[in-house]
Amino acid sequence: MNAHIDIPVILAGLYLVLVLYVPDAIMKHRNPLPCKAFFALWNLILTVFSAVGTYYTVPHIVSLIWNRGLRYSACADVHESFYDTPAGFWVAVFILSKIPELMDTVFLVIQKKDIIFLHWYHHVTVMLYCWHAYSTKIGSGLWFAAMNFSVHSIMYFYYFLGAVGARSLIRPIAPLITSLQLLQMVVGMAVTIATFVWRQDSEGCSVNAANSRMGLIMYTSYFILFAALFKKLYLTPGGRKKTSTEAAAIAPEKKRK
């Protein structure tokens, strides 16, 4: 990761070209490409991937908390707490998965669907942050991976069911998904602040100060954006009819005009 820190930066630049240039410059006068089957398969793959990641990371972090305490689970040296375990492997795969997850946006572009700010901002910042977090070996990385795996296993399954025509059956769980993501941001902020504070005392904490600052900004901005989305979708009268987004704002549905 340290030897190739340029990779996520280059990919972020190319990704922004895809988001900000391709829809209007290339796809504007073209018909949407039919890819419903591929989109469904993609979401099924991500569902299974996230579920397996949850299976390996969540029990491991629960075990750390139960046997060694909350602080240890977020502050211990990564080589001691999880790097050389199956959970450590899945944390590494989690970091790298943020690159292929950019395909979420490719599907939206070729189907000529809206790409809201939260969607592309989330993808870019998560990819950059995760790469930096892994390269600096932060002890709290297992927390962030476990939470993301857990929420994504539900979210991508929701999108898979929607892609195969079961949207009317699963629509009631959309608020739950957004609520879980809000909870994820709250826990992310709490863990980041806690590790930053613990880092200041004599016992210390295996986190990077710059990464903590970036993480707090990232989680706080996500919380604000997801809270605004939740308010618009579920607390504003007629909000669901006025917006083009669904659930976690990762897969907008409305076609571009």
Helix, strand, or coil here: 113?
strand
What the block records as the tokens of 77 is 């040296």
- Residue 32: the pLDDT is 87
Indicate left, alpha or beta for 204 from its phi (over 0: left) and psi (-120 to 50: alpha). left
Residue 166 is predicted with a pLDDT of 79
Give pLDDT, residue 256.
43
Q: Which two tokens stand for residue 1?
A: 């990761």
Q: What angle do CA 174, 221, 197 make, to 5 degrees?
A: 115
Q: Is the separation of the CB atoms in 155 and 192 below 8 Å?
A: no
Query: Could you give the C-alpha distances from 196 to 84, 191, 233, in angstroms and in order?
Result: 24, 8, 34
Q: How is residue 20 written in tokens?
A: 């900000």
- Residue (of 117, 118, 132) closest to 248 by Cα position: 118
Per domain, the residue ranges of the chain are 47-242
The three-class DSSP label of residue 166 is coil
> Using CA of residue 74, residue 75, residue 77, residue 80, what is the dihedral sign?
negative
- Smallest Cα–Cα separation from 150: which of 128, 177, 124, 175? 177
Q: What are the φ and ψ backbone dihedral angles of 98, each rounded to 5 degrees?
A: -70, -15
60, 119, 122, 123: which is the annotated catalytic residue?
Answer: 122
* Helix then strand then coil, % of the chain, to nearest 5: 75, 0, 25
Query: For residue 9, which amino acid is it?
Result: V
pLDDT at 251 (0 to 100): 40
* Residue-by-residue pLDDT tens, the chain, 257 positions: 889 999 999 999 999 999 999 998 888 888 888 888 999 999 999 999 999 999 999 999 999 999 999 999 999 999 999 999 999 999 999 999 999 999 999 999 999 998 999 999 999 999 999 999 999 999 999 999 999 999 999 999 999 998 888 777 777 888 899 999 999 999 999 999 999 999 999 899 999 999 999 999 999 999 999 999 999 888 887 666 544 333 343 443 344 43
Do 247 and 174 form a contact (C-beta atoms < 8 A)? yes
Q: Give the pLDDT score at 248.
A: 40
pLDDT at 239: 60
132 among known catalytic residues: no
* Whether the predicted model's global pTM rises above the 0.75 cut: yes
Q: How far apart are CA 227 and CA 221, in angstroms?
A: 10
Instruction: For 49-72, give the DSSP string.
Output: HHHHHHHHHHHHHHHHHHHH-HHH
